[in-house]
Amino acid sequence: MREPENVQQVAALRPDFLGFIFYPGSKRFAGPAADLGFLHQLPATTKRVGVFVNEQTAETTRLVQELKLDLVQLHGDETPAQCAAMQAAGVEVIKAFSVDENFNFASLDPYSNSCDFFLFDTKGKNYGGNGVTFDWRVLENYHLDKPYFLSGGLNLENIANLGSISRQPYALDVNSGFEHQPGLKDVEKVKLLFEKLIR
């Protein structure tokens, strides 16, 4: 997210997390930190997540401190050592992986002690933001105890099928299915999402 009014509208619904993308190649790029001072006004119950792709650890740490981010989501080719460095900087780490039917879940093992959550997104041409789902049946091969975020083309229609996943996600990472345009959430759809999840 990036529009102050839209952020406040969604924050009023008390989501567990709000994400802000600091990857210039993303169509949801949040912009320079100087434009995001309003993040300090978010409810304490909502955690601020900074999303980064192959960023230098020093720059990520600077933004974590400046914006008082609670978590970082590392969505590129970051190593376990880079994840551990962010943990050492005092922030929780979500390490994202691009998944398709051939994904090798054993590749997660080196990260098991250096991140707090995994995120499974659909493998595509971009680092996330592809707007399509992957076959959730591959999650049957997930063998670690670490909680995970589910991402990739989630919308009001397909979340009805979440019950088919035997190992339920810790959180849902939603974008395209709940937007008017990239970076601008459809607040009414987000409300409906919350209603469906609470039922």
Q: Is the pLDDT of residue 149 over 90?
A: yes
Q: What is the pLDDT of residue 129?
A: 56
User: For the chain, how are helix, strand and coil distributed in percent, rounded to 5?
Assistant: 35, 20, 45
Q: What is the pLDDT of residues 16-71, one digit of tens each?
A: 999 999 999 999 999 888 789 889 889 999 999 999 999 999 999 999 999 999 99
Fold classification of 4-198 is TIM Barrel (3.20.20)
| Torsions phi, psi for 109 (to 5 deg) | -55, -45
Q: The pTM is what?
A: 0.94
| Torsions phi, psi for 60 (to 5 deg) | -60, -45
